[in-house]
């Protein structure tokens, strides 16, 4: 593959993953990493960590589509970031010594299980329910933050479904909160992995250029869907991503 073909492939990956990221409120690393490793032959650590810096502008572009709609639960965002930040830093420093394959398989199975649960949900959670207990938000922040640091992703692929299934947030509120929390937690994880030399900036720039506009379009589509339809689409795609990552992790 020539240099121009390589850049074109990265732009294509960025556009596809960006759209899905905006639709699902996630950073995209769970999808981007396997594509970089399988199809573009990017070395493991670079493929694992390089999508993370591009997740920050991608998530912010997606969140821009949600501005002024009153969908963000500030308490959930604040507590998830407060507890998730130190967990992300700790997980990032442990990433070089962790058993990456086992962690990826376990997280992928969790994603697939959450996806199935959401796809089969009889009715989406309603707006205006009781506030979620602080300890549940803290537990999600610590768990997803630590795992995100270990696996060099922003955590959006887990924050969204856990906000729905555990905190009982409506789908659009969960996605909006997931975008902001994942963007905030991408910062410490990105800083540590840059320090450890795990980031290829050519990949970062190419992915970001394509992902920023497409993620905004994905978020706009999510806002247009009915809550029940969005929940079905959300659950189905999470299930597919989860099983794909299981297959990739075991095969690789």
d(CA 159, CA 183): 11
Joined together, the tokens standing for residue 244 give 């794909």
d(CA 59, CA 180): 7
What 3-state class would DSSP assign to 104?
A: helix
Structurally, how many domains does the chain consist of?
1
Lowest average pLDDT, out of 77-91, 119-133, 154-168, 193-207, goes to 119-133
What pLDDT score does 97 carry?
65
pLDDT tens-digit readout, 144-154 = 888 887 776 76
d(CA 16, CA 173): 23
pLDDT at 247 over 90: no
Give the pTM. Answer: 0.81
pLDDT at 76 over 90: yes
Residue 202 belongs to domain spanning? 3-251
pLDDT at 126 over 80: no
Q: What does pLDDT average to over the chain?
A: 83
Contacts of 246 (CB under 8 A, 6+ apart): 105, 108, 109, 112
Per-residue confidence at 109, pLDDT binned at 50, 70, 90? confident
Q: In this structure, how many other beta carbons lie within 10 angstroms of the beta carbon of residue 168?
A: 15
Name the DSSP class of 38.
Answer: H
pLDDT tens-digit readout, 35-66 = 787 778 887 778 777 888 888 888 888 888 88
Query: Residue 129, class by beta-carbon neighbours within 10 Å (0-12 exposed, 13-18 middle, 19+ buried)?
Result: exposed
Per-residue confidence at 83, pLDDT binned at 50, 70, 90? very high
d(CA 221, CA 37): 29
What pLDDT score does 100 carry?
56
């Amino acid at each position: 593959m020539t240099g121009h073909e390589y850049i074109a492939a990265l732009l294509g990956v960025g556009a596809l993953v960006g759209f899905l990221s905006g639709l699902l409120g996630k950073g995209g690393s769970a999808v981007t990493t396997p594509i970089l490793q399988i199809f573009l032959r990017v070395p493991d650590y670079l493929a694992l960590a390089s999508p993370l810096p591009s997740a920050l502008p991608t998530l912010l572009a997606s969140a821009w589509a949600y501005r002024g709609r009153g969908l963000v639960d500030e308490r959930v965002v604040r507590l998830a970031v407060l507890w998730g930040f130190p967990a992300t830093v700790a997980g990032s420093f442990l990433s070089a010594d962790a058993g990456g394959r086992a962690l990826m398989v376990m997280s992928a199975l969790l994603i697939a299980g959450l996806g199935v649960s959401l796809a089969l949900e009889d009715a989406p959670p309603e707006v205006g329910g009781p506030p979620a207990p602080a300890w549940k938000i803290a537990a999600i922040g610590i768990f997803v933050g630590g795992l995100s640091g270990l696996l060099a992703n922003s955590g959006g692929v887990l924050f969204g479904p856990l906000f729905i299934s555990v905190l009982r947030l409506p789908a659009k509120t969960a996605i909006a909160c997931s975008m902001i929390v994942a963007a905030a937690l991408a910062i410490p994880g990105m800083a540590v992995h840059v320090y450890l030399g795990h980031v290829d900036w050519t990949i970062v720039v190419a992915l970001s250029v394509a992902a920023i506009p497409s993620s905004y379009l994905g978020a706009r589509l999510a806002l247009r869907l009915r809550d029940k339809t969005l929940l079905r689409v959300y659950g189905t795609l999470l299930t597919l991503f989860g099983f794909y990552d299981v297959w990739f992790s075991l095969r690789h």
